Structure 1
Amino acid sequence: MTANSMTGYAPPARDERPLLERLAEVWEDFEQRLEQVPILQALAAGTVTLADYHRLLHNLRQQVVDGSPWIARAASNFGMDYFDLRSAAISHALEEHRDHLLLQSDYLAIGGTLPELQAGRKNVGSQALSGYMFHVASQPDPVGCLGAMFIIEGLGAQKAGEWGRRFAEVLGLADNQVHFMIYHADADVEHTGTMDAILTSDRINADAADAIVSCAKVVARLYVMQLTELDEI
């Protein structure tokens, strides 16, 4: 008699659905979790304050500066069998390299100071997210990182512009005070198109698909944690 037969536990069967269908399910769950984030609830209700926006940018910056380094780490760990993914990751790391400067500009434009921003520490969600991403990116052929990019680039393409415009509307902010979010609304649309082409290519086998979905689930939850645990260090 096997251990499984004694306990009655049966491991879940492999999900054979198309990868994009599985990721769409992850995204739907992510959106539902975002709706429970206090600062986003206040934004939707129109009760968000300038102090809230200040806190959000301050907290996001500490994780944004890690974005390009973990993508570059992933690129360095793709072998020659994944040369195309290595090239894509290198290009993406370069594009993300100056993102924190866009956020910094917005932060200064709403009255923050550079020493204050640079002295910031990652909140508990940012620590977990960055730690997880460097762990995944350090594995050989870290194809699962595509799941993280699916979530993070999806946020830029589908949510950042909406949030930026809403902050501007509620708080009476100028374009140069919400540039970081508005920029990603445009830039990440192109990124997600490239991402979809990779995810639907024959480069992604069943094991890779499982790794991508798993990473997407973890990153979605940790990103919500980052937005929820503002200033909790």
Structure 2
Amino acid sequence: MTDTLASTETVTETLADRLAAVWEDFEARLARVPVLARLDDGTATIDDYRRLLFNLRQQVVDGSLWISRAASNFDIPHFELRAAAIKHAEEEHRDYLMIERDYVAVGGTLAELRAGRKNLGSEALSGYMFHYADQPNPVGLMGAMFIIEGLGARRAAAWAARYQELLGLADSQVHFMRYHEQADAAHTGDLEAILTSGIVDESAADEIVRCAEVVARLYALQLEELDN
């Protein structure tokens, strides 16, 4: 019993360190993305912000769909993960509507937004997520959530504040990003509770880290390939 407990604690601690390393690499990639680099150096334009919303919307529409698909592929021994996925999908399935309102509020139209398509990075990210969600007991998707929800919790509010500072935008024009600071912080808290609960073994930890690595790369690619 003591050896098993020690082994579980080691997996949990090692997983946290490995995910932290993935996040550090992800942050470095984001710093090199042109649209975010312009935001950082103060040269961002309203067109940058509209383009970012336009491209994010196409991927966000799919978010609750692949989460729901993942939920359907968890068996009874993974009931806790299935329940968490169902709850998460329910909470996020209207998120794209916030992007639509923000987009219109900064001069875009619903017609052009809804006629848009995923960019090259979004296609790759969405394809990977649906493929992985179709696997039996896709526990690795916790790695995807670590990246996606972590981005909202750690970066969204700062992006919103910076766009407001540079472009004079109102809170109602950056609602999607501001909302996700709190919503995704709650989601990351739920995720951390699962990751530290002792139910993640060494094999699952490897899957979680690998999925986090892939999603981090594809998410950065999505932001690099705006409009392509």
TM-score w.r.t. length of structure 1: 0.92
> What's the counterpart of residue 225 of structure 2?
229
Supply the AA of the counterpart residue of 2:51. Answer: R
State the shift of 1:150 in Å.
Answer: 0.4
> What's the counterpart of residue 122 of structure 2?
126
Distance 1:25 1:196 in 2: 16
Distance 1:122 1:53 in 2: 17
> What's the counterpart of residue 58 of structure 2?
62
Distance 2:32 2:117 in 1: 24
State the shift of 1:196 in Å.
Answer: 0.5
Matched, 1:185 2:194: no
Aligned equivalent of 1:153, options 134, 143, 149: 149
> What's the counterpart of residue 28 of structure 1?
24
State the shift of 1:21 in Å.
Answer: 1.0
Identical aligned pairs, as a percentage? 65
> What's the counterpart of residue 90 of structure 1?
86
State the shift of 1:18 in Å.
Answer: 1.6
Distance 1:135 1:44 in 2: 34
Unmatched segments (≥5 aa) in structure 1? 1-14
Supply the AA of the counterpart residue of 1:165. Answer: A
Q: Which whole-Å deviations, capped at 9, do the CAs of 1:98-124 have from their partners, x for residues lacking one?
A: 000011110010011111000000000
> What's the counterpart of residue 5 of structure 2?
none
Supply the AA of the counterpart residue of 2:125. Answer: L
Distance 1:26 1:58 in 2: 27
Q: Which whole-Å deviations, capped at 9, do the CAs of 1:184-229 have from their partners, x for residues lacking one?
A: 0111111111110101122111110000000000000000000000
Distance 1:199 1:19 in 2: 8
Supply the AA of the counterpart residue of 1:187. Answer: A
Aligned residues: 218
Distance 1:196 1:113 in 2: 38
Matched, 1:141 2:137: yes
> What's the counterpart of residue 170 of structure 1?
166
4+ runs deviating over 4 angstroms: none
TM-score w.r.t. length of structure 2: 0.94
> What's the counterpart of residue 205 of structure 2?
209
> What's the counterpart of residue 7 of structure 2?
none
Q: Which has the larger radius of gyration?
A: 1
Supply the AA of the counterpart residue of 1:33. Answer: R
Matched, 1:113 2:109: yes
Question: Whose helix proportion is higher, 1 or 2?
Answer: 2
Q: Which whole-Å deviations, capped at 9, do the CAs of 1:127-151 have from their partners, x for residues lacking one?
A: 0000000001000000011000000
> What's the counterpart of residue 7 of structure 1?
none
Return 127-136 or 201-210, whichever deviates more: 201-210
